[in-house]
């Protein structure tokens, strides 16, 4: 009888450990609708279950840091390279082998492969085509022009894409010009900012604003629902001496205290594979980080326009300097 009980306990323990090894906990800073289709396909192929804990990228990174070795997270996904690089600096991630992510360009991942870019987004201008007075806007720096007072839509300065964009501009043209640009935009919005890019696009489409600074895919999502909306995309800073469009990436990292490293590596292998990257492109209209994978057909083709030559790790390395600059101007 005792031997039977012992065998039952051992069997239960074994199956429990096996189940744990074949499941993953992911702290995700991405909206569920953009990650769940990829997760579902991964589970279908591997049988490994994935539990998503969703929230803001910054909050989840702080949670991971505070939990330390008690964390149950195996993977961390952020919609911003700045948070990923900060996680690397805090030694919260485990580097992966270069062979695992060789399809992802080095400029879109950490120097030690402790985080890997999955998809990229471009900072572009959405313009109301009915307002001819804003046709002069060709650069992000034109957004500081006094002619745009009351016509400009931007997010609040705590938005992660906003912060990343400012870093790119600061690295490209210096702090002095970037500070003047921020001050000009502050005057033009007069304290009235948006909490979502989608609301900026909607405001421009309705004529409540004439031009806005947004991530590219929000324009196409709006046009999918409202194909006759009087808006267009403007890829800024495309002149010979201009800096090009600012990019940012969403990315992934294996947590330092994961108990399921092999399963976590399988997840990374899948999301950076041709199939995984194609799914990302289809679901969210961002640019796949893996070379050779096309973005959605309606999105401007990668390589067809000038991109600012700022490597993604810099967005984290210069994050504090960027925040100090934004604070010095008092951006809303």
**What is the CATH number for 67?**
3.40.190.10
Q: Are 292 and 59 in contact (CB under 8 A)?
A: no
Residues 215 and 113 both lie in one domain: no
Q: Which domain holds residue 29?
A: 2-119+249-302
| Helix 175-189 vs helix 160-173: crossing angle, to nearest 10 | 140
- Tokens standing for residue 34: 């953009």
pLDDT at 22: 79
Residues 189 and 324 both lie in one domain: yes
pLDDT at 310: 97
Residue 312 counted as domain residue: no
Helix (H, G, I), strand (E, B) or coil at 291: coil
Q: Strand 211-215 and strand 152-153: pairing? A: parallel
Taking the whole predicted model, whether its pTM rises above 0.85 is answered as: yes
Q: Count the Cβ atoms, other than its own, within 10 Å of residue 18.
A: 10
pLDDT at 284: 87
- pLDDT tens-digit series, residues 136-179: 999 999 999 999 999 999 999 999 999 999 999 999 999 999 99
Q: Count the Cβ atoms, other than its own, within 10 Å of residue 54.
A: 15
Residues 260 and 235 both lie in one domain: no
- Tokens standing for residue 37: 């289709």
Residue 91 counted as domain residue: yes
Segments of the chain scoring below 50 in pLDDT: 1-21
Residues 140 and 187 both lie in one domain: yes
Residue 310 counted as domain residue: no
Residues 210 and 324 both lie in one domain: yes
pLDDT at 207: 98
Report the number of distinct structural domains present in the chain.
2
């Amino acid at each position: 009888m005792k031997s039977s009980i012992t065998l039952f306990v051992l069997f239960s323990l074994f199956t429990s450990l096996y189940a744990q090894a074949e499941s993953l906990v992911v702290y995700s800073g991405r909206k569920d609708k953009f990650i769940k289709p990829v997760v579902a396909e991964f589970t279908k192929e591997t049988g490994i279950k994935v539990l998503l804990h969703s929230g803001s990228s910054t909050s989840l990174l702080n949670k991971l840091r505070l939990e330390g070795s008690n964390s149950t997270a195996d993977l961390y996904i952020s919609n911003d390279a700045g948070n990923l690089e900060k996680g690397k600096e805090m030694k919260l991630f485990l580097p992966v082998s270069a062979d695992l992510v060789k399809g992802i360009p080095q400029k879109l991942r950490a120097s030690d492969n402790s985080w890997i870019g999955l998809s990229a987004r471009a900072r572009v201008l959405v313009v109301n085509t009915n307002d001819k007075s804003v046709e002069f806007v060709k650069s992000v720096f034109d957004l500081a022009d006094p002619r745009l007072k009351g016509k400009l839509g931007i997010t609040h300065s705590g938005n992660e894409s906003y912060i990343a964009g400012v870093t790119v501009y600061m690295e490209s043209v210096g702090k002095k010009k970037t500070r003047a640009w921020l001050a000009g935009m502050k005057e033009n919005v007069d304290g009235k900012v948006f909490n979502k890019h989608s609301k900026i696009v909607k405001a421009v489409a309705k004529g409540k604003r004439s031009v806005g600074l947004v991530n590219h895919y929000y324009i196409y999502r709006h046009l999918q629902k409202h194909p006759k909306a009087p808006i267009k995309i403007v890829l800024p800073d495309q002149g010979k001496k201009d800096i090009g469009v600012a990019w940012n990436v969403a990315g992934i990292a294996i947590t330092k205290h994961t108990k399921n490293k092999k399963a976590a590596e399988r997840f990374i292998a899948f999301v950076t594979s041709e199939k995984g990257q194609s799914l990302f492109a289809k679901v969210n209209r961002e640019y796949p980080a893996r070379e050779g994978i096309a973005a959605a057909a309606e999105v401007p083709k990668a390589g067809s326009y000038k991109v600012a030559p700022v490597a993604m790790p810099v967005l984290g390395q210069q994050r504090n300097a960027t925040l100090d600059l934004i604070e010095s101007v008092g951006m809303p």
